[in-house]
Amino acid sequence: MITDKFELREDTPVVAFIGVGSNLGDSEAFVRAGINELRRSKGITLLDTSPFFRSKPFQASGEDYINAVIKIKSLLNPDDLLSTLQFIENQNGRKRSTLNAPRTLDLDLIFFGHSQIDSPRLKIPHPRWRERAFVLLPLHCIAPEWVSDEMLKNVQNQEIVQVE
């Protein structure tokens, strides 16, 4: 696992939220595989998993997505966590052909504690998390304090249903 290459933090673990999605192949299996691989990664403890949701692509094309949000504790710094997410995506056949192309697995770092990061490689909080029902609804299930009624109202026209 790639996390074996990273130096773990000595201080308190940071709570982070990760959006998980897929719309190629057996999407539900890819989402489960991504979550399980994160669960097995050194320096990461899975705290909670939202129900799965099926949604139409938003600002993208392709088949419907299966989405979830997970809550973790991380001893990795944000950059190393992002590298771990991208490694797991690649191990699951993720191809980065075009922006918002269909994908086997998408792992987006939404929050890393209350950090605000704006680098060329990483932006936290995720810049579009408030615009996407496929982030807000699953996040609301496991961390309602992060999602207001107004945010939910703003995405109510996006097609999404809970599947589990």
Token pair 């890819």 in the structure block, residue: 30
Under 8 Å between Cβ of 26 and 63: no
Q: In angstroms, rounded to a whole number, what is the distance separating the alpha carbons of residues 41 and 101?
A: 27
Among candidate residues 54, 80, 94, 132, the one labeled active-site is: 94
Instruction: Decide: 35 and 73 in contact? Cβ < 8 Å.
Output: no
| Catalytic residue chosen out of the listed positions 54, 80, 108, 132 | 108
- Is position 108 annotated as part of the catalytic site? yes
Q: Known catalytic residue: 103?
A: yes
Instruction: Single out the catalytic residue among 106, 128, 130, 149.
Output: 106
Q: Is 106 a catalytic residue?
A: yes
Q: How many residues does the chain have?
A: 164
Residue 11 designated active-site: no
Active-site residue, selected from the candidate residues 103, 118, 132, 149: 103
Measured between alpha carbons, how far is residue 164 from residues 29, 54, 68, 154, 161 in Å? 13, 10, 10, 24, 9
Q: Give the pair of three-digit tokens for residue 50.
A: 């939202």
Q: Which residues are catalytic?
A: 94, 103, 106, 108
